[in-house]
Amino acid sequence: MNQAPLLSPEARLQAILDGTRAGTWEWNLDTGEVLVNHRWAEMLGYEPDELMPMTYELWQSLSHPSDRERAKALMARHLRGETPYFDCVVRLRHKRGHWRWIHTRGRRLSDSDPAINWVCGTHLDISGERETQHRLQRLAESLPGVIYTFVMKVDGSFGFSYVSQKSIDFYGIPPELALQDPDAIFDIIVNEDLGHVHASIERSARNMEEWRCQYRVQLAGEVRWMEGVAQPEKDEVGQIIWHGMITEITERKQLELELERLSITDELTGLYNRRHMLRTLEEQIARAKRYQEVFSVIALDVDHFKQINDSWGHLVGDQVLIQFAGVLSARVRRTDVVARTGGEEFLILLPNTTNEDAHRVAEALREATEREDFRNEDSETFTVTMSGGVVTWDDGLASIRELLSRCDQRLYQAKREGRNRIVVSDQP
């Protein structure tokens, strides 16, 4: 079988250079002479003859002023033997006046023989790649968030492989620092949210599901809300890579929190409302059933409230309710829940509180109310009293309805017995 003739080494090398569309250059360190091939000149819109005689000085004059010193410094380091190659990205002026991005690489032919003073290398035109990067960067800067790529390696270590410039606005951290030290991003997350963020990342990695997390960051003494969204994928070596965006949601979160607060708050007194109290009681009952926890509930009612409204008007009546709510709030624990559940009706949930302790709390509230100075529109003081019923959860109560019914029974009994008193559940 006939074999095709083998190409000479020179022809094979030229074929490789033609295939890569690389320009070549050779620089004589002694004379400053520079030899370039046709492709080198073509990248800049020239014929080789137009650049003759080609010298290092002419080469430098074609370079962008902002790139010259950096390129010189990198070449000097290579010539001193500090780097195995010269490697630099520079801009060179095209014949038509615009700039082309060139990736230039080179090496001294023999750093062990001082008689050989040539440095040879290649030029690759990466203008298209740079333009694509620039467009992507402009796109990233136009988006309302930080674009990033986050990588979790097989050994569990992690880091960022890309972070957009918006990280400065959002985190006060330049992309270079985030790439070098990923903890710089995590360090500004509010401590109470950090565990939640890590857990959400681990869950996304485990289930290969979308990562979505809301968390707070502390920046220059200010707390901001952030939301991160990213889609994970595995690469060929098993690394998990998330491509996503982080946006600031402080205003939205504040609105959500305010709407949530309004939905569970009594508008007049600022206490919780009936809706929130019922939901909290359901949760408390579930815990009591599961963990055999004890808790008590006090039902309270302002005595003769209708007479207050009739005597001094609804504005004074409203002020009485506001002041009474303040008496209650000031004398309960942080773990207790106080709610206005009706016109002049209130409920207090006392977690981990026995019947005896709840009775003491109720009596203290009754006495504090009776001592309080309430005033009408003429600033005249008058006394307000209240009645209450105490119920402690036990196995005999099957539901929240039964619990509240028992509270009402005790409260009505206090009213029947003359008001300004507390009736305690018969349960131990």
> What whole-number percentage of the chain has pLDDT above 70?
91
Q: Which tens digit of pLDDT belongs to each residue from 29-69?
A: 988 899 999 999 999 999 989 998 888 899 999 999 999 99
- What value does the mean pLDDT take over residues 292-308? 95
- What value does the mean pLDDT take over residues 182-206? 94
pLDDT higher than 70, residue 335: yes
Label residue 193 by pLDDT band (50, 70, 90). Answer: very high
Of residues 214, 215, 222, 160, the one with CA closest to residue 192: 215
> What per-residue confidence (pLDDT) applies to 231?
95
Q: Is the peptide bond before 174 cis (omega within 30 degrees of 0)?
A: no
- What value does the mean pLDDT take over residues 270-285? 96
Label residue 21 by pLDDT band (50, 70, 90). Answer: confident
> What per-residue confidence (pLDDT) applies to 5?
57
> What per-residue confidence (pLDDT) applies to 165?
87
Domains defined along the chain, listed by start: 9-131 (3.30.450.20), 143-254 (3.30.450.20), 265-424 (3.30.70.270)
Asked about 344 being catalytic, the answer comes back as yes
Of residues 83, 99, 162, 106, the one with CA closest to residue 131: 99
> What per-residue confidence (pLDDT) applies to 112?
60
Mean pLDDT score of the chain: 90
pLDDT higher than 60, residue 270: yes
> What per-residue confidence (pLDDT) applies to 111?
56
pLDDT higher than 90, residue 11: no
244/164 Cα distance (integer angstroms): 11
> What whole-number percentage of the chain has pLDDT above 90?
75
- What value does the mean pLDDT take over residues 147-162? 92
> What per-residue confidence (pLDDT) applies to 133?
73
- What value does the mean pLDDT take over residues 103-107? 94
> What per-residue confidence (pLDDT) applies to 171?
87
Label residue 395 by pLDDT band (50, 70, 90). Answer: low
pLDDT higher than 50, residue 305: yes
- What value does the mean pLDDT take over residues 154-173? 89
235/237 Cα distance (integer angstroms): 6
Query: What's the token pair of residue 202?
Result: 């681990």
Of residues 194, 198, 215, 207, the one with CA closest to residue 150: 198
pLDDT higher than 70, residue 16: no
Of residues 202 and 144, more confidently modeled: 202
Label residue 375 by pLDDT band (50, 70, 90). Answer: very high
SS3 182: coil
Environment class of 269 (CB within 10 Å of its CB; exposed 0-12, middle 13-18, buried 19+): buried
- What value does the mean pLDDT take over residues 298-317? 95
Label residue 92 by pLDDT band (50, 70, 90). Answer: very high
pLDDT higher than 80, residue 84: yes
Of residues 155 and 110, more confidently modeled: 155
- Helices (H) and strands (E) in the chain — how many of each? 15, 17
CA triplet 354, 358, 359: central angle to 5 degrees? 120
> What per-residue confidence (pLDDT) applies to 114?
64
> What per-residue confidence (pLDDT) applies to 427?
42
> What per-residue confidence (pLDDT) applies to 15?
63
pLDDT higher than 90, residue 209: yes
Catalytic residue of the set 33, 210, 293, 344: 344
**Contact between 25 and 36 (Cβ < 8 Å):** yes
pLDDT higher than 90, residue 14: no
